[in-house]
Structure 1
């Protein structure tokens, strides 16, 4: 039996654990995204704004969550994906992406998503709609 047929409310997806966020990661993301906000790459600017150090771009965490989604389901199955930034991801934070199927209705699974750091802090909450028909085509 395929995982598609067993996808139901309460199904927990395998976590995607990532490497700690390094200053190099932040600099590379800034270059790739064009987001050169000094809060993410300049420790003096971050400290002047009251932060102890630089922190990750929120969209970097969302990109990690998107990577988890496409790894779990494939790009063609994703119908909607959104997230809310809850807290910052500090440099050296280690994010883990998780997902749980909240419900399945009319061939569409609603998946609740979270990015959590190794200290338990939640940095991102989101949800996605996934087409089960597209999953069956992929299988």
Structure 2
């Protein structure tokens, strides 16, 4: 196994372990503050914008997003993260199953996107605790996204 691929697998496992272990230092799982901790709608929109730049630069996942309406994707993902974090938004896009059926998203691709989301949140100054609280809300979507 090439060293880079092995390193990616280790990073993915570490990220997943951190999320699943609930390593948020505050222990605070209150949803009403997550929206504020992410910077409210404008902060979430900035996170999504940074995430989009990371996606197009990553050959592991960029091809999965070719041909998409970038503006609509940005709007939908911003709405979805806003709603999940307890903000005053409503996600009105298609279901995760509907969006991802036929894409055959692999574990590696799912983890790559999670990695980029974490890096985008770090760039925006989102605390590790808030990052983990958001990731905890996204984990249940995993089976609706992968290998469909």
Q: What's the TM-score once normalised by structure 2's chain length?
A: 0.29
Of Structure 1 and Structure 2, which has the larger fraction of its residues in helix?
2
Of Structure 1 and Structure 2, which has the larger fraction of its residues in strand?
1
Q: Does 1 or 2 have the higher relative contact order (CA < 8 Å, sep 6+)?
A: 2
Bigger radius of gyration, 1 or 2? 1
